[in-house]
Amino acid sequence: MKASKLDEILKKTEQEIALNHKEVLSLLSITSQDELNRVTLVARKLRERYFQNKVFLYGFAYFSTYCRNDCTFCLYRKSNKSVPRYRKNCAEIMSTAHGLVDSGVHLVDLTMGEDPQYHNSKHGFRDLVQMVRDLKQETSTPIMISPGLISPEVLWEFREAGADWYACYQETHNPTLYSRLRIEQSYDERMKSKSAAKEMGYLIEEGLLAGVGDSTEDIADSILMMKKMGADQVRVMTFVPQDNTPLADWGTNSHFRELLIIAVMRLVMPDRLIPATLDVDGLKGLDKRLNSGANVITSIIPPSSGMAGVSQSSLDIGDGNRTVEKIIPVLRLNNLEPATQGEYQTWIKSRQAFLTNLEREGVKCG
C-alpha cells in the first residue's frame, strides 16, 4: 500500500471515523512488517484510549470434549475415534471454576462440545444451569457460557441463572466456507442464536478462524459483520491442523495474519474486547498479540484441572504456563496490568447500559 494511503486510513481510525469495506480490505492486504508495525501502534493507542493499561483475564473450563458435530477443523469432531475424551461432572467443574476465581481471573468461561448427553435430552442442561446459579451466588464472578447452539429456552435459563456472556463462534461469515467447516450445521440458526441472546441481555462473543480457506475479503466481511451485529468481544484464532481430521494436512499458517487481524479489529471496533489467546502459541505468543491491540487474555487453564485446550489441547497446561501467575510478568513487560475485578464488572455494567440506551433510542448495534 502507498504510504500516503496508509497515512490517510490510520488518521481516520485515530479520529474514530468509520472505515468502509475497501479501506478494511486495504489494511488486511498489508504484507510488510513495517506497515504492520504502523497499524499496531495505532491499535495500541486506541486500546489505551478506552482501557488505559488494563487487561482482563479469562479462566477456561473445557468440561466436555464429546460432541455431536463433525466440524472439519476440530480435533474433537464426532468421527475422530482416536482422540481421548472426557466429561467432567458438576463437582469437578465447580472445583476448577473456584480455583480459577481464586487465582485472579475476571471471568470463567464454561465451554463444551455439543455433548449429546446434554443436547439430546429434554432436561439435559438442568444440572449445568443450577451449577451456573451456584457459581454466580458463591463467587459473584462473571460467567461466559460456550455450549454450542442451544434452544432459546435453555439460553434464557442460563441467563436467569446468572450467565453474563454467550460465545457461539461462526468462524467465518462466508456461508459457502462455513458449510465446509461446520458440516450440516445451519449458518442462519447459529447467527440467530446470537441475536436471541443479545435480546435476552447477554453480552456476545463472536469469533473467526483464520487460515482455513478464507480470503482477505472474507476476513474483511467478518470484521464488518462483527461490528454490525454489535458483538461485545471479537476474536480471531489461527487455524492449527489437527490429527485424524479432514484438514490434518492443511499446513501450518503464518501468525502475521492473525496479528494484523487483531490490529484491524481494534481499529474498526476500538471500544470492544479483543482476546489474545493462549490456545495457539501458548505463553510465548502472548507478547505479539498484546502488541497488536488485544486487551483480554483467554484460555487460562489450571495445570491440575485435567482439562484441555481447543486448538492446542495440551500446550503449556501441564507446566503451569497458562496461569495468572505466569501471565502477569508478560503484561508488565508490555507496560500493562491486570484489571481489578471491580474494573471488569464496571466495564460490563457500562457496556450493558450503553446497549440498553441504544435499544431505547432504536439504534442498531454497531
Tell me the pLDDT tens digit for each residue of 264-273: 999 999 999 9
Is residue 149 domain-resident?
Answer: yes
All residues at 6 or more sequence positions from 16 whose CB lies less than 8 Å from its CB, including other chains: 46, 270
Is 343 annotated as belonging to a binding site? no
Helix (H) or strand (E) holding 337: strand 337-338
What is the predicted pLDDT for the residue at 176? 98
Is residue 92 domain-resident?
Answer: yes
Distance in angstroms (rounded) separating the CA atoms of residues 308 and 62: 6
pLDDT band at 358 (very low <50, low <70, confident <90, very high): confident
Mean pLDDT of 247-252: 88
Mean pLDDT of 54-82: 97
What is the predicted pLDDT for the residue at 364? 60
Each residue's pLDDT tens digit, 180-230:
999 999 999 999 999 999 999 999 999 999 999 999 999 999 999 999 999
Is residue 73 domain-resident?
Answer: yes
Mean pLDDT of 274-287: 93
Is 153 annotated as belonging to a binding site? no
Residue found under cell 461485545: 232
DSSP 110-137: EEE---HHHHTSTTTTHHHHHHHHHHHH
Range with the lowest mean pLDDT among 7-11, 245-249, 304-308?
304-308
Each residue's pLDDT tens digit, 164-181:
999 999 999 999 999 999
Each residue's pLDDT tens digit, 91-115:
999 999 999 999 999 999 999 999 9
What is the predicted pLDDT for the residue at 363? 64
Is residue 3 domain-resident?
Answer: no
Range with the lowest mean pLDDT among 64-68, 158-162, 305-309, 353-357?
305-309
Is 7 annotated as belonging to a binding site? no
Is 365 annotated as belonging to a binding site? no
Is 71 annotated as belonging to a binding site? yes
pLDDT band at 4 (very low <50, low <70, confident <90, very high): confident
In angstroms, how far is CA 85 from the centroid of its own chain?
A: 23
Is 73 annotated as belonging to a binding site? yes
Is 298 annotated as belonging to a binding site? yes
Strands 337-338 and 296-300, by their bridges, are unpaired
* Angle, CA of 266, 235 and 311, to the nearest 5°: 140
Closest CA to 213 of 263, 179, 167: 179
262: CATH: 3.20.20.70
Checking if the pLDDT of 66 tops 60, the result is yes
Mean pLDDT of 15-27: 98
Distance in angstroms (rounded) separating the CA atoms of residues 246 and 109: 28
Checking if the pLDDT of 52 tops 90, the result is yes
Distance in angstroms (rounded) separating the CA atoms of residues 146 and 314: 20
Express as a percent the part of the chain with pLDDT over 70.
97
Is residue 2 domain-resident?
Answer: no
* Angle, CA of 319, 323 and 328, to the nearest 5°: 120
Distance in angstroms (rounded) separating the CA atoms of residues 262 and 237: 9
Range with the lowest mean pLDDT among 55-59, 209-213, 362-366?
362-366
What is the predicted pLDDT for the residue at 361? 75
Mean pLDDT of 244-271: 94
What is the predicted pLDDT for the residue at 329? 96
Residue 52 Ramachandran class (φ > 0 left, ψ -120 to 50 alpha, else beta): left
All residues at 6 or more sequence positions from 350 whose CB lies less than 8 Å from its CB, including other chains: none
Is residue 5 domain-resident?
Answer: no
Is 126 annotated as belonging to a binding site? no
Checking if the pLDDT of 282 tops 60, the result is yes
DSSP 15-28: TTPPP-HHHHHHHH
What is the predicted pLDDT for the residue at 85? 96
Mean pLDDT of 47-73: 98
* Angle, CA of 144, 148 and 153, to the nearest 5°: 80
Please tell me the number of Cα atoms within 13 Å of 357 on its side-chain side.
6
What is the predicted pLDDT for the residue at 27? 98
Is residue 14 domain-resident?
Answer: no
Query: Which domain, by its residues, includes 254?
Result: 19-357
Instruction: Phi first, then psi: give them for residue 218, nearest 5 degrees.
Output: -60, -45
Checking if the pLDDT of 330 tops 60, the result is yes
Q: Which residue has the higher pLDDT, 303 or 131?
A: 131
Checking if the pLDDT of 153 tops 90, the result is yes
All residues at 6 or more sequence positions from 238 whose CB lies less than 8 Å from its CB, including other chains: 210, 211, 253, 255, 257, 258, 280
In angstroms, what is the C-alpha Rg of the chain?
19
How many domains does the chain contain in total?
A: 1
Q: Cell digits for 249?
A: 494436512
DSSP 206-253: EEEEESSS--HHHHHHHHHHHHHHT-SEEEEEE----TTSTTTTS---
pLDDT band at 254 (very low <50, low <70, confident <90, very high): confident
Is residue 1 domain-resident?
Answer: no
Is 351 annotated as belonging to a binding site? no
Residue found under cell 455439543: 114
Mean pLDDT of 327-351: 97
